[in-house]
Structure 1
């Protein structure tokens, strides 16, 4: 399925192999952030999910046309989270069939103070808002056209939808939320409406993030 091969987040197969598994819990000083396990995510989404790539740092920014859309095409990359974090953790899960028909991406960036975390959210919100459409180039050189729509903004968060042009309904529903010195981000990619589930997952993860 073409849409499954062109996810709007950091792709399932584009992540570098890890020399050792990155744990689902990160600790930076007194800050503790926990991502959902595959079993927890399965219960909340109603899908049977299996564990995929994890990373202890954001992936490099992806190429975009126009170039101002680097944030929109790579919301979990360095284009958003930068390099000034004190701790970072991300994990991607997919449907048990291994086809990528349904994927869940979680990411948490921890910063030295709340203003730096807020600046990351502002970068994300502005980047999405300034990019109604773009051609995304993945790390292996494959390109795909996407359109972007901001669904909701608050002082502490933003929700948006990325739709693959000509993807037969394939879309990625994403939400980011500030919690103290941390920025939580969750995305669900599917050929359906993942907005309610993304909100549930984001709130669940944010509730477990330290101030």
Structure 2
């Protein structure tokens, strides 16, 4: 049960039985964003990762108790990325064993202008600040309790940790960053400390975002 619960705590779905390859690039007009491939992510993380799932639009907002924590429990959903994007791509990778002991996600949403993307980053930051803990119910009706802590903020970024109660050290480390007209987000879930890896991944993804 742990893999699905842990993925649920950050708004990721359990992987399909036959994952499809992740498109290597996202293009919206003159804006070009590239996500790391599983091979590139494996080299950077030191883990052997395989493609798990992908999405060309944000999933619906998730149920949270209290309801004011909808952003914290579903940071990759419409609760954050909304519906006004001009292009969107998310990809989730998992450990090669398929046990869900290590998962990584990358998300890029491209918007009409920097002001719109910046407003979403502010919404995300405010939502995290207002939620210290919550019960998240995934789309299959499974619930899990998580605590949330902001690790750092800047004018163009926010980083935070979501820790599963009773999860034997399982936590999800995430960072969101504004780059031009794009809002990107990277996260790692593991029973360890993924902060430095998430920072490195965010720099790599941000370096490829154009516009």
Structure 1 and Structure 2 fold alike (TM over 0.5): yes
Q: Does 1:74 align with 2:74?
A: yes
TM-score, reference length from structure 2: 0.95
| Cα contact 2:15–2:53 (8 A) shared by 1 | no
In 1, distance between residues paired with 2:114 and 2:22? 25
CA offsets 1:57-84 (integer angstroms, 9 cap, x no match): 0011100000000000000000000001
CA shift at 1:52, angstroms? 1.1
Q: Is the CA contact 2:70–2:79 (under 8 Å) kept in the aligned structure 1?
A: yes
Offset of residue 22 of structure 1: 5.6
Task: Quote how far apart the aligned CAs of 1:179 are.
Answer: 0.4
* Structure 2 equivalent of residue 9 of structure 1: 10
- Report if aligned partners of 2:15, 2:52 keep a CA contact under 8 Å in 1: no
**Equivalent residue runs for 1:50-65 within 5 Å:** 50-65=50-65
8 Å contact from structure 1 (residues 31, 210) kept in 2:
yes
Q: What residue in structure 2 maps to residue 207 of structure 1?
A: 207
Offset at residue 24 of structure 1 (A): 2.9
In 2, Cα distance between equivalents of 1:156 and 1:11: 24
Supply the distance in 2 between the matched residues of 1:133 and 1:195 (Cα, whole angstroms): 20
Shift of 1:9: 2.2
Aligned to 2:173: 173
Residues 12 and 92 of structure 1 are in contact (CA less than 8 Å); yes or no, is this contact kept in structure 2?
no
Assess if the C-alpha contact under 8 Å between 1:56 and 1:89 holds in 2. Answer: yes
Match of 1:43 in 2: 43
Distance, in Å, in 1 between the alignment partners of 2:10 and 2:209 is 22
| Residue 140 (structure 1) aligns with | 140
- 1:123 matched to 2:128? The reply is no
Gaps of 5+ in 1: none
Question: How many Å separate the matches in 1 of 2:164 and 2:22?
Answer: 30
Runs of 4+ in 1 over 6 A off after TM superposition: none
| Matching of residue 33 in structure 1 with residue 22 in structure 2 | no
Give the match's secondary structure for 2:204. helix
- Tell me, yes or no, if the aligned pair for 1:91 and 1:106 is still in contact at 8 Å: yes
Deviation at 1:45, TM superposition (A): 0.3
Alpha-carbon distance in 1 for matches of 2:97, 2:107: 23
Structure 2: segments with no counterpart, 5+ residues = none
RMSD, matched Cα:
1.7
Q: How does 1:187-198 map to 2 (within 5 A)?
A: 187-198=187-198
